[in-house]
Amino acid sequence: MSSRVARGALVAAALACNGGLQPTPAPPAISGIVTYRGAVPDSTQAVYVVAYHTFPHSRDSLFTFQPPVQSLRQLPLGGAAAPYSIPVESGRYEWVLAVWVKRGFTSANADSTLRETGYYRDPADTSQPGVVDVLTQPATSIDFVIDFGQMHPPCRYYTPPCP
């Protein structure tokens, strides 16, 4: 085989690859570290991290979070801190939070068995939730505190709020 033919074959092979091997982009996700404060209640069934595209203001929007229910991963509860990572769709998230679930939870009793127990806060104004954008790459270092002494029912965030 002549060197001209061999070079031609290499050029053709390189062009056929259309850029060659490229790294596979990481799937959209939100990850970070949660730090625990306070004692875990004895009635705890689980704690999950979830994210909302838009802040839920009614019971109807309570279950519109990411990841889907079948993809929820329970956080480990032993220790002072734990890493987390949740798969999400690409987009903007107005609220990333930890949800405490009481034993006996059903969707019918959600207001009495679910609690917000910590959320990612805006670094510029820690009294406000922080917005997380997951566009071209996973959002990392979305760290926050889970405080079992400061748990709030979902209706606290409804319009109008619970009494």
Residue 10 pLDDT greater than 50, yes or no: no
Give mean pLDDT, residues 9-21. Answer: 52
Higher pLDDT, 62 or 9: 62
Cα-based angle 22, 27, 29 (whole degrees, multiple of 5) = 145
Nearest to 51 by CA among 73, 30, 78, 82: 30
Number of domains in the chain: 1
15-24, 31-40, 145-154 — which is least confidently predicted?
15-24
Q: Look at residue 13 and tell me whether its pLDDT is greater than 70.
A: no
pLDDT at 4: 55
State residue 7's pLDDT score. Answer: 53
Is residue 117 in a domain?
Answer: yes
* Domain contains 75: yes
CATH code of 88's domain: 2.60.40
- Residue 20's pLDDT is 58
